[in-house]
Homo-oligomer: A and B are copies of this chain.
């Protein structure tokens, strides 16, 4: 049970004590995608070309959500994040939109949840802005790509996949 650090000895949820961990620079990168009809994507991209709003609003939503991570995920520590970037790329092959988020902090815990939350909320925002024309959109592949810093050091998905 000691493996699940969110659970106390009695198995009850708590925010784990990181008081004595060192403050180090930590980075996390996450990604995900939303799959939609080709016609829906075309509408979003045209809007983007003209006014930038679908992608622009979703990017802001992802950034703001990363700052709310500790309010959404009950056992996350609040963290003074030092960088948040959300990238959204239309991909005609899905068809849909690929999201990537990178978050940094100098702190005692990592920012994986902040990066994953940014991706998740950016994709939900795209769903919201396009749902009037396509209710069947689907969010896929929300996952951590890479983390650096902290006691557990570096982790990369591609190495996991190679070794797995």
Contacts and interface: CB of A to CB of B under 8 A. Distances in A.
Interface of A: 1, 3-8, 10-20, 25, 32, 43, 47, 50-54, 56-57, 59-61, 63-65, 67-68, 70-87, 104-108, 112-113, 116-117, 120-121, 123-125, 127-133, 135-144, 147, 155, 157, 160, 164
A113 B124 contact: yes
A120 B124 contact: yes
A80 B83 contact: no
Nearest to A25: B19
Number of copies: 6
Instruction: Summarize A's interface: helix, strand, loop or mixed.
Output: mixed
A112 B135 contact: yes
A147 B8 CA distance: 21
Contact of A13 (B5, B8, B56): B56
A18 to B, nearest CB: 5
Contacts of A120: 120-121, 124, 139
